[in-house]
Amino acid sequence: MTGASGFIGRWAVKSLVDRGAQVHALSLRSHAWMPQVVVHEGNLLDPQYVRQLLDNVRPDTILHAAWNVEHGKFWTAPENVDWAGATLMLARAALDLGVRRFVGVGTCFEYRWPEDANCDEVATAIDPTTLYAVAKDAARRVVEALDGLSFAWARLFYLYGPFEDERRLVASVARGLARNEPVLLTQGLAVRDFLDARDAGEALAALALSAVCGPVNIASGVGESIASIAYRLGRISGRSHLLRLGALPGRTDEPPRIVAEVNRLRSEVGFEPTRSLERGLADAYSWWCARTIT
């Protein structure tokens, strides 16, 4: 697994181990891994290193989650081109060395979001508008065209949970409430599909160990407004009075609704999230409380 120490990767590794898989974790930095995990610290952008690693390990399946996702910068970062290239190089090396299955991680931003329907893997048009999404989709198209690989593409929607960047929505609200500080927000009318990162990791593991091919949405399938997320966290914390909805201007380019169709995830992969939104948000708030001095 690449990107094994990341926000989602760490949970996928845990789920793979729990499911009985022998996991080789590739990461740029050290991490407190379970003893069952074989750790490789190296750079996925180094073609020679990657090919040598695959030649030594000879994996049956690659779950590729590594990418540049630095908050606020990844949408337009030129490094997206490098990561698309690294993905293609990894897939080519996998093909040459007889790897059976390759599962890549994409984004809901590959879609042209319908105004009154869920994003469906087959019916919804693909129309990426940022360099990040274009690079993801381009990598997906090329790898999908390769003969000889069992290939699946996991499109992630809105994830939250422990280890989330503090500038993202759920983390920023939970952290502010934990610190007993006012939380400034827009009116929060936009509707999004939120899923606990732990469930997302488990979904990726289930997809990797399945025979399902093609794009699969990794999401809850339920829309929730940003305002609702904030109010839920306010109730959980007992500090709703700190919420300042409408204090920030809304984004004029923000789509009103981004929600996934999850029939493939449920019926073909056989995965259902185990955590309710309320539980996931409560856990996220508790995680930030444990790391915050009030």
Q: Residue 141: which CATH number?
A: 3.40.50.720
pLDDT recorded at residue 293: 67
Domain that holds residue 88: 9-289
Is 202 contained in some domain?
yes
User: Tens of pLDDT along 74-130?
Assistant: 999 999 999 999 999 999 999 999 999 999 999 999 999 998 899 999 999 999 999
Domain count, the chain: 1
Tokens at residue 23, please?
């996991």
pLDDT(294) > 70: no
Is 2 contained in some domain?
no
DSSP 5-65: TSTTHHHHHHHHHHTT---EEEESS-----TTPEEEE--TT-HHHHHHHHHHH--SEEEE-
Tokens at residue 31, please?
């991490």
Mean pLDDT of 248-276: 95
Is 74 contained in some domain?
yes
**Model-level pTM?**
0.96
User: Tens of pLDDT along 221-239?
Assistant: 999 999 999 999 999 999 9
pLDDT recorded at residue 250: 87
Is 4 contained in some domain?
no
In the block, residue with structure tokens 């500038």 = 167
Mean pLDDT of 157-178: 97
The DSSP H or E segment spanning 202 is helix 197-208
Is 102 contained in some domain?
yes
DSSP 126: B
Of the chain, the percentage scoring pLDDT greater than 70 comes to 99
Is 294 contained in some domain?
no
In the block, residue with structure tokens 């309320």 = 278
Is 92 contained in some domain?
yes
pLDDT recorded at residue 85: 97
